[in-house]
Every structure is written in C-alpha cells, then in structure tokens.
C-alpha cells in the first residue's frame, strides 16, 4: 500500500503554534506530511529560508512522519515531484476559505491533486505569521505564539 503523503505549503515566516496544530491534526489523516517552504523572491521575509527550515526541523526532529523541504516552483509541480497526493491547508476566516478554494480548484484542474482543509482551532484563529513578525519588529515576546523548541526566541 502506498503512503498517503500531504504537502503543507507556506512561507512559515515564522512557523506558529497554529501551524503546529494543523500538522498534528493532519498526521491523523495521512502517513506523512511534507512541510514545504515556498521560495518567493517577491516576498520580503523576516527569517532566512535556512533559519525557518532549521526551526521546523528542530521542532519535528523526533517525528519521522514529518519532513521539511523547500521548493521554487508551482506547488502542484512540487507535490508531483515528491509523490504527494494531497495538499493540506488551514483556514482561519471566511476570506481564507475563498482564497484557498480558488487555488484548490486550479490545482485540481492542473494536476488532479486534492486539497483538504483543516479549520484552525478557535484558540489559534488570532495567530498569524504576519502578526508575529509585527511583534518581533517592535521587540515584543513571541513565545506564546511559536512552538517551544523552534529556537526563534
């Protein structure tokens, strides 16, 4: 039987406790999750790609079903390259849903790959990477918003 592999794509700048929750819940649905950091030269990131990958790998060092990779292509092309049959996404709001649905429809049309969506747990809906970056810029403590063990604070 083939492994059910899901790609969890994002910038993860930084990886938050909301992302961690999605990965934990996603592992109940698939055999392996590849946290895939997309390289987008148009985005100005706070943390380097290397720092983000290192932080997430450190967090999942004892979980062999989670891998961390980066890619510089269309997400569906990378999914096919690594043998993922699903794309996993999380949504916090109705606006997230509209955006993710459009992308999922295009991805399915292009490659046949299915997207499954997990709703963010209520206690994490206020957390976003952009809010965490804003807190960092002003010297605030981000420890309540990022997983312990990611060495980001």
51 part of the active site:
no
Residue 117's pLDDT is what?
96
Distance between CA atoms of residues 61 and 84, nearest Å:
21
DSSP element (H, E) containing 104: helix 94-111
43 part of the active site:
yes
Residue 95's pLDDT is what?
87
Residues of the chain with pLDDT under 50: none
User: Binding site for ATP, residues?
Assistant: 11-12, 19, 90-92, 100, 124-130
- From 19, 21, 36, 52, active-site residue: 19
Q: Taking the model in full, what pTM does it have? A: 0.94
Instruction: Give the tokens for residue 129.
Output: 């990477």
Residue 84's pLDDT is what?
97
109 part of the active site:
no
Q: In which region does residue 27 sit, left (phi positive, over 0), alpha (psi from -120 to 50) or beta (all else)?
A: alpha
Residue 91's pLDDT is what?
95
Residue 5's pLDDT is what?
98
Residue 153's pLDDT is what?
59
Distance between CA atoms of residues 117 and 98, nearest Å:
12
19 part of the active site:
yes
Residue 42's pLDDT is what?
82
Helix, strand, coil share (%) of the chain residues, nearest 5: 40, 20, 40
Cis check: omega of the bond before 70, within 30 degrees of 0: no
């Amino acid at each position: 039987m083939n492994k059910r592999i899901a790609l969890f794509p994002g910038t993860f700048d930084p990886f938050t406790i909301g992302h961690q929750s999605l990965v934990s819940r996603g592992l109940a649905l698939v055999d392996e999750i590849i946290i895939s950091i997309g390289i987008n030269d148009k985005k100005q990131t706070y943390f380097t790609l290397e720092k983000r990958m290192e932080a997430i790998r450190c967090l999942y060092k004892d979980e062999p079903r989670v891998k961390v990779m980066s890619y510089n292509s269309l997400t569906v092309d990378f999914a096919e390259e690594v043998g993922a049959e699903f794309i996993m996404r999380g949504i916090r709001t109705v606006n997230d849903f509209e955006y993710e649905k459009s992308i999922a429809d295009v991805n399915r049309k292009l490659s046949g790959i299915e997207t499954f969506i997990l709703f963010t747990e209520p206690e994490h809906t206020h957390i976003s990477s952009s809010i965490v970056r804003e807190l960092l810029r002003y010297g605030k403590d981000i420890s309540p918003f990022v997983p312990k063990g990611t060495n980001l604070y």
